Structure 1
Amino acid sequence: MVMDVLIVGAGPTGLALGIDLARRGVAALVVERAEGLFPGSRGKGLQPRTLEVFDDLGVLEAIRAAGGPYPARMIWRDGERVGEQSMFEPVETDEGAPDTEPLMVAQWRTQEVLYGRLTELGGKVSFGREVTGVAQDADGVTVRFADGTTARARYVVAADGGRSVVRRALGVGMTGETVDPARFLVADIRLTGLDRDHWHTFPGADDTGVALCPLAGTDDFQLQARLAQGTEPDLSLDGVRKLVAAYTHLDAEDVGQLRWASDFRPRTGLADRFRVGRVFLAGDAAHLHSPAGGQGLNTSVQDAYNLGWKLGAVLRGGAPDSLLDSYEEERRSNAAAMLDLSTGVHRGEVRRGKATVQLGLGYRESSLSVETRVDPTGVRAGDRAPDGTVSGVRLFDAFRGPHWTLLGAETSGVAGVRALPAASESYGPGVFLVRPDGYVGWAGDAADGFEAYLAEVGL
């Protein structure tokens, strides 16, 4: 049997893509090497743009219930509180962007929510399936597993992380740099002796230090440590206890439980290609970020959101395979910009705030973005489509679902395109065709032309 899409990796990227494909009626299977979902908190920051994506995918309410707001940073020295700082510069809300604050959700909880939504839609994750190689031809891709079995799919998406087996099997290189020479340790622990109203930081000598952040929606703290040069991370409970006792006023016994731990050296990486024939790279398999600024998981989810509607259009809507070339065109340049941003935040060159909430990202330079207005103002083709209210209808409610939306016209007359007679004032004058992923694909002075645009992109 040949399935439509096989997704390698059940992290946020693979699960989000599985959800998007399932709601489009695309037969997809997610395979995961591990025996279960990822157990740690690693990518805990969800940016406002990702929350908009999750709203469309039908998981926002559950995601909000699973997390909470970021606390202020509390700085300690010699057992004394010496200062409090906001984690983010405030970003003003307006009708077009009603939600501008990041949300803290432990990664394992995000994945639980996404997994629940995927199974609700009839999707499936096959755990304990380690991919060892891929081979493709003109008709599809054969995926080989460690147990000797194979599977056949029309398309494969590699969402299998920074050490992607699929990327290496394809021979795709990844270019990057070391962001910080130091080793870092991150762990989820149970802790007593600190309030849960602050992200507690304990600076040490030579830019080392420990931070203890209460994980919203859980009883845990996330420990983050920048270790001294030459120090080998000790991921045991005893090692974590010694680290806490060395940098804070707490006793080693105040760490009651170690739930998960990992170490890493911050680096960047950008895959040379995001598409090789019928195989696509997404998430960490395509780009690696410093965790500073919370861009990695968010950029990864938006890879899935960009690719999902395009695969659906090709597999169920009759669009040509060439539409899928726009995935690499749009997402690789976006990922490159986010890598620069993450590195800037890590090095203290960029503040968390307007630059990191990802609401200003877009695709103006994309071949799918066509601006035909004589004197365009306000929102342009390629921009994120803002929220707003038109004739009592909230635009984000109108956008929700696997369809295109035409703003500023009485009727579209085209299957798969819904119409609203006007756009919000924030858009400026004109008619706007909003893509299924919430970006303006086409803009014109009148509705004439949007059908030709759809025909041009094969829809």
Structure 2
Amino acid sequence: MVVDVLIVGAGPTGLALGVDLARRGVDALVVEAGERLSPGSRGKGIQPRTQEVFDDLGVRDAIRAAGGPYPPRLIWKNGEQVGTKPMFDAVPADEGAPYTEPLMVAQWRTQEVLHARLRELGGRVAFGRAVTEVAQEADGATARFADGTAVRARYVVAADGGRSAVRRAVGVGMTGEPVDPNPFLVADLRVRGLDRDHWHTFVGDDGNGVALCPLAGTDDFQLGAKLPEGAAPDLSLEGMRRLVSTYTPLDPSDVTELRWASDFRPRAALADRFRVGRVFLAGDAAHVHSPAGGQGLNTSVQDAYNLGWKLGAVLGGEAPDALLDTYEEERRANAAAMLELSTGVHRGEVRRGAATVQLGLGYRESSLTRETRADPGPVRAGDRAPDGHNADGVRMFDAFRGPHWTLLGPEPVDGVRSLPAPRSYGPGVFLVRPDGYVGWAGETTEGLREYARRTGALGAG
């Protein structure tokens, strides 16, 4: 089989990239080592910036229907309720940022929504394809699988998790460190005896304990546990019952069903490279986070969103291959910052809220960013392009939605439609990238055509 892009891994990263490429008409195949989408709630927080991405990909309504808001945390001590507090510091919404509250969506449900959207767009996932080898040539790469089949692609994207077989196959190392010496586990349980209006937190005198969070959109609770250093996690139903009865007032029998469980030791690790020839690393294959603060899945979706339009432009002949080098430049620096943030949240040094919603992330230092104004206004090249309405009543997120560049300025350029920018952007002309960031900004359109030729902007219009 020959395809333009082979995406290895059908988690949120691979599926989001598959959706983005499918809507661009790119011939892409997603392969997954397992026989079905992976189970488990895992990364359950959908940050506001990712909600904006999902809006563009056509799945935000389905994602909202699959989950719900985070409940407040209810703190227990010695079997008694001692108080509640919100999970996140409030971030006020405004016209430029309509989504400011994280959503809780079990990861398996996020995957189902993205998979359904991929199929709707004509994309596909081939299950039971475990990668055993990746060989690169000048004009492509060939992946071989344990079942004896092979796929040749012009580009391969490793979205196959922290133990990425593709990353190992192309010889990329990861640099990192433990975040916490204690073992942790996460599980999806059916539990009786607790209300579903709170995230119940039970901390023992030794600082270890469990939290039981009602998973929005399901009948399950997600159990998260920090165990004593050196403890051996028991992922059986009986092990969960012992753990719950040790730290909570519940009886062992109140844990009625174990649906999924996994153990881990929190660490922060960053791949040494995000691109090796025809192979790109994305998601957990490129960066591994502590789950604290809900940054891992969201950073991974941003990887896919950044890479998708660039692959589409190069494969469509609208931009040179050099455009793809900006994926590593932009995303590796961003992932490093998010790893530091995740570790800070885990250690209690950073509060969940404005720092974790990812609305402030951008690419001002990228070689792909051009700010030509002597006195930039509130929105600069490299910034996330805010929502808002212009003088004609057009909503920006409606104008941005779809796999295209958007020109905000006084006149069309080379046939690319132009819209007035909202007053909130300040003066100037803005060229908004397909991933919702301002790529170029100027007082006039002088210099815009040169930038557009390098990025494929006018060809994509």
Give the TM-score taking structure 1 as reference length: 0.98
Counterpart in 2 of 1:398? 399
Task: Tell whether the 8 Å contact from 2:318 to 2:455 is kept in structure 1 after alignment.
Answer: no
CA distance in 2, matches of 1:96, 1:191: 41
Counterpart in 1 of 2:389? 389
User: Residue 399 of structure 1: CA displacement?
Assistant: 0.1
Counterpart in 1 of 2:129? 129
1:192-231 to 2 correspondences below 5 Å: 192-231=192-231
CA distance in 1, matches of 2:445, 2:407: 9
Task: Tell whether the 8 Å contact from 2:4 to 2:28 is kept in structure 1 after alignment.
Answer: yes
CA distance in 2, matches of 1:456, 1:274: 21
Residues 175-214 of structure 1 deviation map (CA, whole Å, 9 limit, x = unaligned): 0000000000100000110000000000013210100000
Residues 374-410 of structure 1 deviation map (CA, whole Å, 9 limit, x = unaligned): 2112111000000000111110000000000011223
Q: 1:430 to 1:103 in 2, by over 3 A?
A: same
User: Residue 2 of structure 1: CA displacement?
Assistant: 2.3
Matched to 2:187, the amino acid is: A
Counterpart in 2 of 1:238? 238
Residues 347-366 of structure 1 deviation map (CA, whole Å, 9 limit, x = unaligned): 00000000000000000000
User: Residue 446 of structure 1: CA displacement?
Assistant: 1.1
Counterpart in 2 of 1:152? 152
Matched to 1:455, the amino acid is: R
Task: Tell whether the 8 Å contact from 1:434 to 1:442 is kept in structure 2 after alignment.
Answer: yes
Q: SS of 1:367's equivalent?
A: coil
Q: SS of 2:155's equivalent?
A: strand
| Structure 2 spans left out of the alignment, 5+ residues | none
Counterpart in 1 of 2:40? 40
Counterpart in 2 of 1:372? 372
Residues 157-178 of structure 1 deviation map (CA, whole Å, 9 limit, x = unaligned): 0000000011011111100000
Task: Tell whether the 8 Å contact from 1:293 to 1:352 is kept in structure 2 after alignment.
Answer: yes
| Structure 1 spans left out of the alignment, 5+ residues | none
Superposition RMSD in Å: 0.9
Count of residue pairs the alignment pairs up = 456
Counterpart in 2 of 1:88? 88
CA distance in 2, matches of 1:2, 1:445: 46
Residues 9-37 of structure 1 deviation map (CA, whole Å, 9 limit, x = unaligned): 00000000000000000000000000000
Task: Tell whether the 8 Å contact from 1:404 to 1:418 is kept in structure 2 after alignment.
Answer: no
Q: SS of 1:304's equivalent?
A: helix
Task: Tell whether the 8 Å contact from 1:30 to 1:125 is kept in structure 2 after alignment.
Answer: yes
Matched to 1:356, the amino acid is: T
Matched to 2:17, the amino acid is: L
Q: SS of 1:268's equivalent?
A: strand
Task: Tell whether the 8 Å contact from 1:140 to 1:155 is kept in structure 2 after alignment.
Answer: yes
User: Residue 458 of structure 1: CA displacement?
Assistant: 4.7
Counterpart in 1 of 2:441? 443
Counterpart in 1 of 2:300? 300
1:213-362 to 2 correspondences below 5 Å: 213-362=213-362
Q: SS of 1:205's equivalent?
A: coil
CA distance in 2, matches of 1:249, 1:458: 61
Give the TM-score taking structure 2 as reference length: 0.98
Matched to 1:428, the amino acid is: G
CA distance in 1, matches of 2:318, 2:400: 22
User: Equivalent pairs: percent with the same residue?
Assistant: 77
Counterpart in 2 of 1:432? 430
CA distance in 1, matches of 2:100, 2:195: 26
Q: SS of 2:17's equivalent?
A: helix
Q: SS of 1:206's equivalent?
A: coil
CA distance in 1, matches of 2:87, 2:41: 18
CA distance in 2, matches of 1:221, 1:317: 48
